[in-house]
């Protein structure tokens, strides 16, 4: 690519930030930039073949494509689906989508000199893999993905049908128990999973605290921080062929005695011996912590070592809220005390410094947990949208398993809300195809390197279907993000999504049977569905009622839910979990839409894309008519509006939603504490990043760029994961 070629398409893209003489923004210039980029840069670097057969033979013979995926279909069908895709005349809606695809997803020759795939090729590879030989499903998935109605998560979209690949799974969650064997095995497993691509989160709550006894000798334990350092070095070492560091997160309970030491590792002025630079931190916060802070009381920090001795259970496996007074009164359990308000103050300070820690509201997610008889939800993942039960493993001295527990993996994909609504009469079919695709990933993934995750996946086949482009849909329909109508629409969309997801999983029972623990779940006794079977759900606003009617989205009735719940009780469902909303940073850029459920940062976002410098990203289908509905972005609407949206969706999502809080540069720690309390009180499950706006002046140009924002005012330790489980850190 010559400088002149680069200048041409980037110059056209830059025009989207400026008005013409009539006072209108030149958003069309971005589409012109795409055409120039494809013509002057991509076409010259794309390897050509005489015909489709010669292309596929080359890809098979040179170990680029997995021939077994294609052998599930007839040669005639392969030709038919490629010709169909070519006939669609696909074009990237935005320059960022084209650049994202060719920089991060398109298959290249081993010497990186040529591209071997178009976007249509990658879509077909996914459809053929996910459909598992079903021609009709392959056609449907190809249509849904190419039209941006459904988008598999990055690890799936990137790796499907490739011979040399990573895994299809976005994130993994591991429990760590209080013994050296478990710690060592967790580090080894993290290395194996990072090697294959995917973010790994680990629960450290059960590790004994600093100065706890070892073999009866007091003041011997080193606590959680040395384990964190070992994990951070491990993730840095597993750098995925030098492409990027492995990505990890660690979660610790708020009432663990090492909680302040844990948080201090993210201080900007922390001693290098304890400072954690790239590992993400998460705190598990129960109801009792909020109650004690409200009453301005000290909170007890309980020794996990003593809890295990007294109760015979790990700390993460008991409810601290339920047992708090009992633990407090028991002299056999050592406890320290700190101010509950001080803890939240420290958390807020760190959010301003680094964007960390993530927060998981322990009792909220466990009240929603449909698998209470099986166990407790003790942690979340790297992007805080996965909340599932895990069970402990035990090990022999040679690190072999004595008993294999169940750990967790995330099989993710997202619907594009605007595109899904464009095909609203077929909404049920779209959701059905998506659930089938995610279920296929859970049954195809190779998890031999992590036996506890393999066991959990085989037992549960849990999936996480989410959604993106909410702000895009609202703005193009002239609905402000911070409005009653926006919350109402979100509520109704996810209400319909939940129904069709459960219906799709029920349909899969005929093929796979119910997941292993179905009989003990709240799906089996019908209690999970009471919120639908015992009340009638309808839009609250006339605007949304009319909108759904205009688009043709038929909401399930109370009678529909009653019939489905009865059928599920009789037959079961194939998947232990169905819905989770990830941040979708990478795939929303790929699909040229707004990320997840959050508002845009600005109508035209500024991003840094490698050596190319700034790329301007106009919001989804933005024009001069709907510009005003994008003008109030994430920092203008503030955290309350975003929390209201997430809370509306969370009522229907059986796992969690990655909730990012956007704070103005004038915000205080008190403002952040109010936001935590509001999110908790509204029933949100987790808080992901906190981003603080920083206005940066560069020359005479005022930048409003998410790339220049937090996670904090200064962020030297910012991880490569920039806000989604489909992000660059979570893929290979």
Residues designated catalytic: 381, 383, 385
Other CB atoms closer than 10 Å to residue 670's CB: what's the count? 11
Q: In the structure encoding, which two tokens stand for residue 444, read together?
A: 């195809």
Contacts of 651 (CB under 8 A, 6+ apart): 491, 494, 495, 531, 683
Distance separating alpha carbons of residues 252 and 268, to the nearest angstrom: 20
Tell me, rounded to whole angstroms, the distance of Cα 731 from its chain centroid.
12
Choose among 430, 442, 400, 399: nearest CA to 577. Answer: 442
DSSP structural state of residue 550: H
Secondary structure (3-state) at 568: helix
Q: In the structure encoding, which two tokens stand for residue 656, read together?
A: 């969690």
Choose among 24, 6, 18: nearest CA to 701. Answer: 18
**Cα Rg of the chain, angstroms:** 25
Other CB atoms closer than 10 Å to residue 560's CB: what's the count? 15
Tell me, rounded to whole angstroms, the distance of Cα 421 from its chain centroid.
22
Backbone φ/ψ region at 171: left (φ over 0), alpha (ψ -120 to 50), beta: beta
Pairing status of strand 701-703 against strand 696-698:
antiparallel
Choose among 523, 527, 532: nearest CA to 574. Answer: 523
Q: How would DSSP label each residue in 408-424?
A: EEE-EEEEEHHHHHHTG
721 membership: H or E segment, kind and range: none
Distance separating alpha carbons of residues 666 and 645, to the nearest angstrom: 23
Backbone φ/ψ region at 478: left (φ over 0), alpha (ψ -120 to 50), beta: left
Pairing status of strand 701-703 against strand 358-361:
unpaired
Long-range contacts of 666-670 (CB under 8 A, 24+ apart): 667/692, 669/345, 669/348, 669/349, 669/352, 670/348
Choose among 280, 665, 625: nearest CA to 478. Answer: 625
């Amino acid at each position: 690519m010559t400088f002149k070629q680069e200048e041409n398409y980037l110059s056209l893209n830059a025009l989207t930030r400026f008005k013409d003489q009539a006072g209108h923004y030149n958003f069309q210039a971005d589409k012109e930039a795409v055409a120039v980029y494809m013509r002057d840069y991509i076409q010259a670097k794309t390897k050509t073949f005489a015909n489709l057969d010669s292309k596929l033979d080359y890809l098979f013979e040179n170990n680029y494509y997995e021939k077994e995926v294609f052998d599930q279909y007839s040669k005639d069908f392969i030709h038919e689906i490629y010709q169909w895709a070519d006939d669609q005349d696909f074009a990237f809606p935005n320059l960022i989508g084209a650049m994202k695809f060719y920089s991060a997803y398109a298959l290249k020759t081993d010497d990186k000199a040529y591209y071997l795939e178009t976007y249509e090729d990658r879509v077909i590879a996914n459809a053929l893999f996910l459909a598992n030989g079903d021609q009709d499903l392959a056609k449907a998935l190809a249509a849904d993905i190419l039209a941006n109605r459904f988008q598999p998560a990055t690890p799936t979209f990137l790796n499907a049908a490739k011979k040399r690949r990573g895994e299809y799974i976005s994130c993994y969650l591991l429990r760590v128990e209080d013994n050296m064997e478990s710690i060592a095995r967790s580090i080894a497993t993290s290395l194996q999973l990072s090697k294959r691509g995917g973010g790994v989160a680990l629960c450290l709550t059960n590790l004994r605290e600093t100065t706890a006894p070892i073999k009866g000798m007091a003041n011997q334990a080193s606590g959680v921080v040395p384990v964190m350092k070992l994990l951070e070095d491990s993730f840095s070492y597993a750098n995925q062929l030098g492409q990027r560091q492995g990505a990890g997160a660690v979660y610790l309970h708020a009432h663990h005695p090492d909680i302040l030491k844990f948080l201090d590792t993210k201080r900007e002025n922390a001693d290098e011996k304890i400072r954690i630079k790239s590992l993400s931190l998460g705190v598990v916060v129960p109801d009792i912590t909020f109650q004690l802070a409200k009453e301005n009381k000290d909170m007890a920090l309980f020794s996990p070592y003593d809890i295990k001795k007294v109760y015979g259970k790990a700390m993460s496996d008991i409810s601290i809220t339920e047992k708090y007074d009992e633990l407090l009164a028991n002299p056999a359990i050592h406890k320290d005390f700190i101010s509950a308000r001080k803890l939240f103050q420290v958390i807020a300070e760190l959010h301003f410094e680094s964007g960390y820690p993530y927060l998981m509201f322990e009792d909220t997610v466990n009240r929603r947990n449909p698998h209470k008889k099986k166990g407790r939800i003790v942690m979340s993942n790297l992007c805080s949208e996965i909340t599932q039960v895990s069970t402990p493993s035990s090990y022999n001295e040679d690190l072999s398993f004595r008993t294999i527990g169940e750990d967790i993996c995330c099989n993710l994909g997202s619907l594009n809300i605007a595109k899904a609504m464009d095909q609203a009469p077929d909404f049920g079919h779209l959701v059905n195809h998506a659930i089938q695709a995610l279920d296929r990933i859970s049954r195809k993934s190779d998890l031999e390197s992590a036996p506890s995750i393999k066991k959990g996946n085989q037992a549960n086949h849990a999936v996480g279907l989410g959604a993106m482009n909410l702000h895009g849909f609202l703005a193009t329909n002239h609905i402000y993000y911070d409005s009653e109508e926006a919350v109402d629409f979100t509520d109704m969309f996810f209400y319909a999504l939940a129904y069709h997801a459960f219906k799709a999983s029920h349909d899969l029972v005929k093929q796979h049977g119910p997941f292993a623990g179905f009989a003990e779940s709240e799906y089996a006794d019908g209690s999970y569905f009471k919120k639908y079977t015992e009340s009638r759900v309808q839009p609250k606003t006339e605007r949304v009622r009319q909108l759904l009617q205009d688009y043709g989205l038929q909401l399930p009735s109370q009678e529909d839910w009653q019939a489905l719940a009865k059928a599920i009780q009789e037959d079961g469902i194939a998947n232990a979990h169905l819905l989770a909303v990830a941040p979708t940073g990478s795939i929303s850029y790929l699909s040229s839409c707004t990320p997840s459920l959050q508002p845009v940062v600005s109508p035209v976002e500024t991003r840094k894309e490698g050596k190319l410098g700034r790329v301007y990203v106009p919001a989804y289908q933005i024009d001069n008519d709907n510009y005003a509905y994008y003008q109030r972005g994430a920092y203008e609407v503030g955290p309350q509006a975003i929390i209201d949206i997430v809370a509306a969706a969370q009522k229907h999502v059986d796992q969690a939603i990655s909730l990012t809080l956007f704070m103005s540069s004038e915000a205080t720690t008190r403002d952040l504490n109010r936001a935590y309390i509001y999110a908790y009180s509204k029933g949100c499950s987790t808080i992901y990043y906190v981003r603080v706006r920083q206005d940066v002046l560069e020359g005479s140009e005022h930048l409003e760029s998410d790339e220049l924002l937090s996670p904090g005012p200064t962020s030297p330790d910012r991880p490569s994961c920039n806000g989604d489980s489909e992000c660059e850190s979570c893929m290979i």
